[in-house]
Chains A and B, each alone.
Chain A
Amino acid sequence: MKKLINAVEDVVTEQLEGMALAHPDILKVHFEPKYVYRADAPVAGKVAIVSGGGSGHEPMHGGFVGMGMLDGACPGEVFTSPTPDQMYECAKAVDSGEGVLFIVKNYTGDVLNFEMAAEMAYADGIKVQSILIDDDAAVKDSLYTAGRRGVGTTVLAEKIVGGAAEDGYSLDQCADLCRKVNQYGRSMGMALTSCIVPAAGKPTFDLGDDEMEIGIGIHGEPGRERFKMKTADEITEMMAIAIIEDEAYTRTVREWNNEDGEWFDLELTDDPFQSGDQVIAFVNSMGGTPVSELYAVYRKLAGICAAKGLTIVRNFIGPYITSLEMQGFSLTLLKADDEILKYWDAPVNTPGLR
């Protein structure tokens, strides 16, 4: 393992110390428990947006803390969910009294820990809403699995809902918008190489020199299928078509009712894309793939979208939700209406996105 680390157990802490030193005008870092929060938090009169998850996906989430995006982010160990005391303390630190929206990626650990945090915050009189992001179209069914994972749409949701919160949206309005963004977005990832979690010291999975895996998760969760290497155009087409032609997806999510202090089940169905839809196209590097290759992917993606009747009205290209040094990329298409575009275009000032 060749990595720029000092001691394995200090990786997350030292990264946070560096962020605090680099961006004192934008954010602060709290240790014990760990969370990143806006330097000017709590922002009076504004709903606070909080997310979090395992480290190793930078700039998500800590790099998206700042004006127009997140108020707080809770980093776990690399690829390990953070704990409820982090989210609870973070929520307390950023709540202005208008409430806190948790944006939670659908991984069992993240979901359970955020659920406990919501209950703790509620017991403390903080208004909370919790919205799940589950956009990974590589996972076909929710009946026999933990459901679709939260991937690329998470970044778009944090930007859009962050913009809306800045504009004075109430907690319920933020939650509704976040749920809509999740339902309008679909993603798929692929890997050319594995990544190495520092604590493990060896590759998360084995992939031959001439192989790739389509449908991989951001922690190296198994994808749909392994193939011999193909061209950029062939890979892009395979993934874009899988997203564009993905059928309606129905599952039951759990949301928090902050009037009664209870979880309730909500059945949601995401409609497929339709010819005529406007979309935001997000081409993301898993960390190790250079931006130049992402543009080659975008070139092909633009052609496919046009042929399928989808109009790309905004694009977003770069490493924003990564898997350490993994080579590979993910595609996210988000159906965009006026509300989504308005807040996608709203000003933002974070270390990872300005």
Chain B
Amino acid sequence: MVVTRDQMVQWLENTAAVMKENKEYLTQLDSPIGDADHGINMDRGFRKVLEKLPGVADKDIGNVLKTTGMTLISSVGGASGPLYGTFFMRGGMAVDAKEELTGDDLATMLQAAVDGVVQRGRAQAGDKTMVDAWLPAMKTLRETLDGDNDNTIAALSQAVSAAEQGMKDTIPMQAKKGRASYLGERSIGHQDPGATSSYLMLKALLDTLEG
């Protein structure tokens, strides 16, 4: 299968809807271990993205993703702004000038995006961050895809499950990055809000491609 530009734009629109829907939930998760603004910030950022999308909807996929990244960087603030901004900037750079994506292109795009997040935030697996959702998802995606384009949806579906598991696995972790780290052991027992928004974003991609 190929992923069209329209589908990528649709993904971003769906992500905006999901962030709006989960605004309270994400903020609630951020309350005991952060500063109770993750949902508010993500919703504000993706509302800005929605405003920008019509202006780039006829551009290539790289351009659409990079515009999304720049918009998030200048509107989200906190740590999530630079991290998700970098995610879409790097992802966009990896598929520059492409009008459609193969399954491999999609995996390349996501991998570059996740690499960007890791580089920017310097988080490792187990630090209780969004990386804990993305790393298992990417491993599963690449292994399941295995170069076969017809596998894209199935591979993405398994990657979403891996991200969900990764998200849940943050609950018993002690945070080592960000504001939650100052809580020390008191951060244990709470699901990481960043891992949760990352899972929701990847799930929105699957839902979009499945139609």
A residues with a Cβ closer than 8 A to B are 33, 76-77, 79-85, 107-109, 112-113, 115-116, 139, 144-146, 149, 199-200, 217, 219, 221-222
Contacts and interface: CB of A to CB of B under 8 A. Distances in A.
A222 B182 CA distance: 7
A286 B137 CA distance: 44
B73 A144 contact: no
Given A81-B81, A109-B82, 13 more contacts: A80-B37, A80-B77, A81-B78, A83-B75, A83-B77, A107-B179, A108-B177, A112-B79, A115-B82, A115-B120, A144-B181, A146-B178, A222-B182
Contacts of B181: 144-146
6 contacts: A80-B78, A116-B85, A145-B181, A199-B40, A217-B182, A222-B183
B40 to A, nearest CB: 8
Interface residues of B, number: 29
A210 B86 CA distance: 46
Contacts of A116: 73, 82, 85-86
The 3 closest A-B pairs by CB, nearest first: A112-B82, A145-B181, A109-B78
Contacts of A80: 35, 37, 41, 77-78
Contact of B182 (A85, A115, A145): A145
Nearest to A143: B176
Interface in B34-91: 35-37, 40-41, 73-79, 81-83, 85-86
Contacts of B176: 144-145
Contacts of B178: 108, 146
A146 B82 contact: no
B179 A84 contact: no
Interface of B: 35-37, 40-41, 73-79, 81-83, 85-86, 120-121, 174, 176-179, 181-184, 186
Contacts of A139: 182
Given A112-B82, A115-B82, A222 B177 contact: no
A5 to B, nearest CB: 18
Nearest to B178: A108
B32 to A, nearest CB: 11
A112 B83 contact: yes
A200 to B, nearest CB: 6
B82 A113 contact: yes
A221 B36 CA distance: 12
Contacts of A79: 35
B81 A83 contact: yes
Contact of A84 (B74, B83, B174): B74
Given A108-B177, A112-B121, A146-B177, A84 B182 contact: no
Nearest to B85: A116
A69 to B, nearest CB: 25
Contacts of A82: 77
Contacts of A219: 35, 179
A205 to B, nearest CB: 11
